[in-house]
Every structure is written in C-alpha cells, then in structure tokens.
C-alpha cells in the first residue's frame, strides 16, 4: 500500500511540474539570425470585420509562390543595426512587384514593434526557423471620424524564405 501511495504521489508531482513548466507567461526569444531575407507568403488564415461590411470575412488559403500571380505577397527584411530592421511589404501586380514604403522596427521578445506602419500593428512572430516564419497580427481599430468606422481582425500568415 505504501508503494502504491508513493508511486501515486510521484506521478502527481511529475504531472504538476510538467503543467507549471508548460504554462509560462514569458515570451519565447527568437534566433534573429534567420530573420533577414525575402519571405514569400505560402498560407494565410484569419478573419476581418469592418463596420461598412455586413459579414465577417474569413479565409484559410494556400499560396504557390513559385507561380507569381495577383495573390503573391512578400516581406523583405533587412538588418540595419543591432535589433533594428527594415521591413518592406510588397505584392505582385501581375506584371511586377509593388512595394509599400519601408518601415523600421525592433524585435522585443516575439513582437516586432514597427514604426509608422499603416498595415501591421506589432505583429507577433510565433515561430522562426532558417526557412519558415509564422506571423500573427491581431487588431481592433476605431476611426475618430463622424461615422466611427471600426476594423478588426486576426490573421496568421506563414512565409518561407526565398
């Protein structure tokens, strides 16, 4: 009986230790050596809701970056200084690449803190390897105009390095 109780207590202790370890509130730090380069969108899943649209727009879509088309998107990330990067977001117009004006930013934990970006508000890099990056953006914006428009969404994009 003592052996059975001892095994039960040991098993309970191990389970509690695993649960406490798995529930850390700290953000995982990224190996930023892989961040610099050209990243092509291969998958996007998410939703957007706008006050001027009657329904929530939802999608779960794969993209083939090897055949450029109007759905092709990329991010070019260039290191400027220690923990300071240039981010250039672009999409294919059907004949050439259109790049939005570059923005600069830093990485704090897993969050990219972008300066003056009209499109992405502090995206979170959920995972980063030498050839794959998963980025999540959540936003909830309300305009200050007379009509009080709102725009909210939750988007997870997967990129591969070209």
Residue 78: CB atoms within 10 Å: 15
In the chain, the domains with their CATH numbers are: 32-161 (2.40.128.20)
Q: Which of 107, 102, 101, 59 is nearest to 81 (CA)?
A: 107
pLDDT in tens, 103-137: 999 999 999 998 876 556 689 999 999 999 999 99
Q: What is the pTM of this model?
A: 0.75
* Residues 56, 49 contacting (CB under 8 angstroms): yes
How far is the C-alpha of 7 from the C-alpha of 13, rounded, in Å?
Answer: 10
- The string of pLDDT tens digits covering residues 55-91 is 899 999 999 888 888 889 999 999 999 999 999 999 9
Q: Residue 11 in 3-state DSSP?
A: helix
């Amino acid at each position: 009986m003592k052996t059975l109780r001892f095994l039960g207590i040991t098993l309970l202790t191990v389970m509690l230790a695993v649960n406490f370890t798995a529930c850390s509130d700290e953000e995982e730090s990224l190996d930023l050596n892989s961040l610099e380069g050209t990243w092509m969108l291969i998958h996007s899943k998410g939703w957007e809701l706008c006050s001027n649209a009657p329904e929530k727009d939802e999608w779960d879509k794969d993209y083939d970056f090897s055949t450029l088309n109007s759905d092709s998107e990329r991010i070019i990330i260039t290191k400027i200084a220690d923990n300071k990067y240039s981010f250039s977001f672009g999409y294919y117009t059907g004949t050439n690449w259109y790049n939005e004006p570059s923005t600069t930013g830093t990485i704090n934990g897993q969050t990219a803190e972008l300066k003056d970006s009209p499109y992405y508000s502090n995206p979170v890099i959920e995972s980063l390897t030498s050839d794959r990056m998963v980025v999540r953006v959540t936003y909830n914006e309300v305009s200050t105009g007379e009509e009080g428009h709102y725009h909210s969404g939750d988007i997870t994009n997967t990129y591969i390095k070209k």
